[in-house]
């Protein structure tokens, strides 16, 4: 099953068609894409009985499939290749956890305001919580995931690192710094959810390419790690980390400018296209 957020309304996707959930369910389910995760089991049961209806749609109208997550977890240094390129030594410790503040979430084709500074790309698999998880064992981790989608953990490196006083969460939370989409794909649609090829291209040039099989802590491992401390709630999201190839680690470093286009792909999950644009005022 694939679901999406089309013009702010929850839709069920079938091929190139989108079925409006609120109308098709005669009001049983709300039009708000965020609300569906609270009733995930009930919704998936209903959705399984819907036969490939719907209308053609313009992908440019898609918003984030999880538009207002209560909690956004993000994981640093979760691919060995990326830890190595930025000379990060794990020393036996688990990858660091930070947040992207939820107001940075935006759609899969949204323009992203460039705030100045050293803006960088990070393609990531995003896992979305469908069943609350607290003190869950890794072996049961996937059972708490509604589905997965593509994310960009856009980062402004000057603020993120600010000398030797890191501000990870702020540097990764400028408005629009969390594109997600283009839709949510459930795990049963994937041959192997633990081995998804992911890539990022800037202006047509591939800059990142790896597979989620290279994650140090995989999705079930992350759910165990996070839920050992804090309850994970329906509709929360986890940005699982980025592989090698970020601009910061290049020689010389390379950062994004207004006009640059970032294309993020994960095999089986689709593609996002986000263009950096000149920042507007404080609107
Ligand atoms: Zn990241």
State yes or no: pLDDT of 79 exceeds 60.
yes
Tell me how far apart the alpha carbons of residues 144 and 95 are, in angstroms, rounded to a whole number.
Answer: 21
Cβ atoms 38, 234 nearer than 8 A: yes
Give Cβ neighbours of residue 15 (< 8 Å, ≥ 6 apart).
52
Residue 55's pLDDT band, with cuts at 50, 70 and 90, is: very high
The pTM (predicted TM-score) of the whole model is 0.97
State yes or no: pLDDT of 51 exceeds 90.
no
Tell me how far apart the alpha carbons of residues 166 and 170 are, in angstroms, rounded to a whole number.
Answer: 9
Q: What is the DSSP string of 128-179?
A: EESS-BSS--GGGGGGGEEEEEEEE--EEHHHHHTTTS--HHHHT-STT-EE
Tell me how far apart the alpha carbons of residues 187 and 1 are, in angstroms, rounded to a whole number.
Answer: 9
Q: Give exposure, 143-168, as e/b (b: 16+ Cβ within 10 Å).
A: ebbbbbbbbbbbbbbebbbeeeeebb
pLDDT of 35-49, one tens digit each?
Answer: 999 999 999 999 999
Section 162-181 average pLDDT: 94
Find the 244 Cα to ligand 1 centroid distance in Å.
11
First to last CA, the chain: 37
Find the 16 Cα to ligand 1 centroid distance in Å.
31
The chain-wide mean pLDDT, for the chain, equals 95
Q: Which of 50, 78, 178, 65 is nearest to 129 (CA)?
A: 65
State yes or no: pLDDT of 283 exceeds 60.
no
pLDDT at res. 281: 61
Find the 242 Cα to ligand 1 centroid distance in Å.
5
Find the 140 Cα to ligand 1 centroid distance in Å.
24
β-sheet bridge partners, residue 201? 206, 263
Find the 2 Cα to ligand 1 centroid distance in Å.
24
State yes or no: pLDDT of 267 exceeds 90.
yes
Residue 90's pLDDT band, with cuts at 50, 70 and 90, is: confident
pLDDT of 224-253, one tens digit each?
Answer: 999 999 999 999 999 999 999 999 999 999
pLDDT at res. 282: 61
Find the 124 Cα to ligand 1 centroid distance in Å.
7
pLDDT at res. 86: 86
pLDDT of 91-125, one tens digit each?
Answer: 778 899 999 999 999 999 999 999 999 999 999 99
pLDDT at res. 83: 86
Find the 105 Cα to ligand 1 centroid distance in Å.
14
Tell me how far apart the alpha carbons of residues 132 and 217 are, in angstroms, rounded to a whole number.
Answer: 20
């Amino acid at each position: 099953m694939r679901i999406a957020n089309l013009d702010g309304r929850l839709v069920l996707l079938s091929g190139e068609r989108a079925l409006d959930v609120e109308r098709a369910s005669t009001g049983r389910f709300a039009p708000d894409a965020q609300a569906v995760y609270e009733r995930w089991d009930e919704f998936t049961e209903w959705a399984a009985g819907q036969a490939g209806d719907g209308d053609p749609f313009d992908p440019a109208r898609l918003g984030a499939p999880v538009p207002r997550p209560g909690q956004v977890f993000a994981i640093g240094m979760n691919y060995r290749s990326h830890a190595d390129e930025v000379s990060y030594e794990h020393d036996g410790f688990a990858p660091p956890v930070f947040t992207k503040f939820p107001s940075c979430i935006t759609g899969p084709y949204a323009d992203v305001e460039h705030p100045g500074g050293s803006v960088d790309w990070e393609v990531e698999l995003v896992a979305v919580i469908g069943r609350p998880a607290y003190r869950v064992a890794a072996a049961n981790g996937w059972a708490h995931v509604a589905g997965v989608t593509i994310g960009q953990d856009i980062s402004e490196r000057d603020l993120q690192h600010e000398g030797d006083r890191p501000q990870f969460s702020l540097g990764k939370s400028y408005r629009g710094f969390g594109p997600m989409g283009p839709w949510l794909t459930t795990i049963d649609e994937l041959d192997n959810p633990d081995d998804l090829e992911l890539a990022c291209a800037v202006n047509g040039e591939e800059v990142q390419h790896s597979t989620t099989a290279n994650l140090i802590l995989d999705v079930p491992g992350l759910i165990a790690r996070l839920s050992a401390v804090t309850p994970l709630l329906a509709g929360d999201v986890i940005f699982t980390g980025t592989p090698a190839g970020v601009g910061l680690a290049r020689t010389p470093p390379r950062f994004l400018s207004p006009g640059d286009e970032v294309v993020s792909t994960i095999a089986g999950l689709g593609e996002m296209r986000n263009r950096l644009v000149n920042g507007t005022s404080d609107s």
